[in-house]
Amino acid sequence: MNYKPYIRMYQNRYIMSFIKIWIHAVWATKNREPLLAKEIRPKMFEHIHSNGLEKDILIDTVNGHLEHVHCLFRLKNDQTVKKTLQLMKGESSFWINQNHLLNNKFEWQSDYFAVSVSESQVESVRRYIENQEEHHRKRHISKKIMNSFTGLDLTCLRAKTTFVTKPYRS
């Protein structure tokens, strides 16, 4: 993405504001209902991206799963996280309802998660967002495996998804 800094004149000198703050935001459907079926997600993500760009929101990546959306974007000098997410969430729920993508009225939860991302981590966050389908598929399998060990105290070693079990004692 090309980003042009805001340049203005003040007392015969150029003054330049340059802000490069990356934000990773996540928001969910109302009550975390799994409403975002695989068929509508690509259309919705494309709409969020293109509409964000129309509203001068520097969206890099947007993706998600059944009940939530991840978005990596950059703030400009006149934008806040709150206002930017308000625009993205409000407009996308309006668009989903206007296009009758779901049978019932669609709403996002009012809360959201947002953190700044250092320049050195942008690529890994981008990959994480792009691979949401795979991430949740693996998580779903892990949950099924974990549920089969009901009654055991489990310690998970994440490196190779090795499960070390200890008998459960109450």
Which comes out higher in pLDDT, residue 170 or 124? 124
Residue 79, CB half-sphere, CA atoms under 13 Å: how many?
Answer: 22
Length of the chain: 170
The pLDDT confidence band at residue 16, using thresholds 50, 70 and 90, is low
Residues 96-101, mean pLDDT to the nearest whole number = 95
Q: Which domains are assigned to the chain?
A: 6-130 (3.30.70.1290)
Give the residue ranges of DSSP H helices in the chain.
41-54, 81-98, 122-130, 132-147
pLDDT of 109-137, one tens digit each? 999 999 999 999 999 999 999 988 776 66
User: Percentage of the chain with pLDDT > 70?
Assistant: 69
- Residue 20 predicted with pLDDT over 50: yes
pLDDT for 75: 94
pLDDT for 139: 54
CA dihedral angle for residue 20, residue 26, residue 27, residue 31, rounded to 10 degrees:
-160
Asked whether the whole model's pTM tops 0.85, one would answer: no
pLDDT for 135: 65
- Residue 67 predicted with pLDDT over 60: yes
Residues 40-58, mean pLDDT to the nearest whole number = 94
Q: What separation, in Å, do the N-terminal and C-terminal C-alpha atoms of the chain show?
A: 57
Q: How far apart are CA 36 and CA 66, in angstroms?
A: 5
pLDDT for 6: 57
pLDDT for 148: 39
- Residue 153 predicted with pLDDT over 90: no
Handedness of CA 51, 57, 60, 66 (dihedral sign): negative
